[in-house]
Amino acid sequence: MDDIKRWQTTSYNLTPVSPILTFIEESLDQFSKTDPRASSDIFWKLSLEREPREREDEKMARLLQESGFL
């Protein structure tokens, strides 16, 4: 938690890159014309395709390994 808080409080001097910003805005605009709930469902499904949820046993094994018990 301390690491997360530290990174969240750090100031980042990022400069917008117009072509990237335009791409993101245009990509998101196609979803804003539809029902917001439907858009949310689309993004959730895409998220699960890219990063499936862990099974409970996998999660427990990962947490035990990260904490040094395994």
Map tokens 């395994």 to a residue: 70
Q: Measured between alpha carbons, how far is 67 from 64 in angstroms, rounded to an integer?
A: 5
Q: What is the pLDDT of residue 23?
A: 94
Residue-wise pLDDT tens for the chain (70 aa)? 888 888 889 888 889 999 999 999 988 887 767 676 777 888 889 999 998 888 888 888 988 999 988 7
| CB-CB contact of 61 with 70 (8 Å) | yes
Residue 28 structure tokens: 């998101």
| Alpha carbon separation from 36 to 27, 28, 32, 66 (Å, rounded) | 15, 11, 7, 38
pTM, two decimals, is: 0.40
34: helix, strand or coil: coil
